[in-house]
């Protein structure tokens, strides 16, 4: 039996035990949450969505519903609220050839020159910038999202909406610690090598990005942390992430998921 297989078996065993205990402890809270959601707004209490996990495996993720019904259809109308798009505008989109590090190192164009909107830019640098803009347009984060219900806002603040995901862990779709499984419309943009490393790791309820969310302001940084976990994951990494998650939870501090 290989070392990697032993680690995989140990991680799976821990996931099953931890999730079983968590569901048992949180079962009264789950019942109260279910009732609160049904009383406040129409629709099912449990939210189901197809997500992409390890190795681009597609599965149905479970969460408590925190938004009004059909909220995803309103997303195109809320683009101006997207924090990632705002950061793109704040940084400005005008670029020049001098901004390409490869061109600077080479002392000239590192790839064919393009002329876009009166700006001269090398093709390599333009494609890198274009990929960065795609990330900002794909990921959505808003401070006061009007689609979230009052109960949903409370659930998100203390991450109680995440509890049903322990069912996903028991089913083997996810792990307790890993990279967040992405909705299919986000995952389809992350297929090139520099972004796809994140899918080598298991999908998880918590991970590197979650415990450092307050430090992350750019989608590229989020993907970089996912890639970092995928390439450096192990027992002690998982232990540190889980310990910090638990400490933060019991202090009732906000951690963005």
Tokens of 235: 């027992």
Tokens of 77: 């109308």
Backbone angle region of 250, left / alpha / beta, with phi > 0 → left and psi within -120 to 50 → alpha: alpha
pLDDT over 70 percentage in the chain? 65
What does the pLDDT average to over 132-156? 70
pLDDT the model gives residue 23: 97
What does the pLDDT average to over 129-151? 63
CA distance 203 to 117: 41
Mean pLDDT of the chain: 77
Which residues on neighbouring strands pair with residue 116, listed in sequence order? Answer: 119
CA distance 135 to 207: 20
Question: What's the CA angle centered on 217, arms 83 and 203, to 5 degrees?
Answer: 95
pLDDT over 90 percentage in the chain? 38
Q: Which range has the worst mean pLDDT, 87-96, 163-172, 221-230? A: 87-96
CA distance 146 to 28: 29
Q: Which residues contact 137 (CB under 8 A, 6 or more apart)?
A: 82, 84, 85
How far are the Cα atoms of 7, 100, 103 from residue 62, in angstroms, in the given order? 26, 43, 47
What does the pLDDT average to over 36-60? 93
pLDDT the model gives residue 155: 94
Q: Which residues contact 232 (CB under 8 A, 6 or more apart)?
A: none
pLDDT for 17 beyond 60: yes
pTM: 0.69
């Amino acid at each position: 039996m290989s070392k990697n297989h032993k680690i995989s078996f140990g991680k799976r065993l821990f996931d099953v035990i931890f999730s079983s205990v968590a569901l048992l402890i949180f079962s009264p809270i789950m019942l109260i949450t279910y009732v609160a959601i049904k009383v406040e707004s129409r629709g099912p209490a449990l939210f189901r969505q197809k997500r992409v996990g390890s190795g681009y495996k597609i599965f149905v993720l479970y969460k408590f519903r925190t938004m009004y019904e059909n909220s995803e259809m309103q997303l195109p109308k809320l683009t101006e609220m997207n924090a990632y798009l705002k950061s793109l505008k704040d940084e400005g989109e005008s670029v020049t050839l001098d901004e390409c590090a490869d061109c600077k190192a080479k002392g000239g164009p590192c790839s064919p020159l393009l002329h876009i909107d009166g700006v001269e830019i090398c093709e390599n640098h333009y494609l890198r910038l274009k990929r960065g803009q795609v990330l900002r347009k794909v990921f959505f984060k808003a401070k006061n999202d009007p689609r979230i219900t009052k109960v949903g806002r409370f659930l998100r603040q203390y991450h109680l909406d995440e509890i049903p995901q322990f069912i996903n862990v028991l089913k083997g779709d996810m792990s307790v610690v890993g990279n967040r499984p992405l909705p299919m419309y986000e995952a389809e943009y992350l297929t090139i090598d520099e972004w796809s490393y994140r899918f080598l790791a298991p999908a998880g309820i918590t991970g590197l990005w979650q415990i450092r969310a307050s430090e992350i302001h750019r989608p590229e940084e989020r993907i970089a942390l996912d890639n970092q976990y995928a390439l450096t994951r192990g027992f002690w990494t998982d232990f540190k992430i889980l310990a910090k998650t638990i400490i933060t939870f019991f202090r009732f501090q906000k951690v963005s998921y």
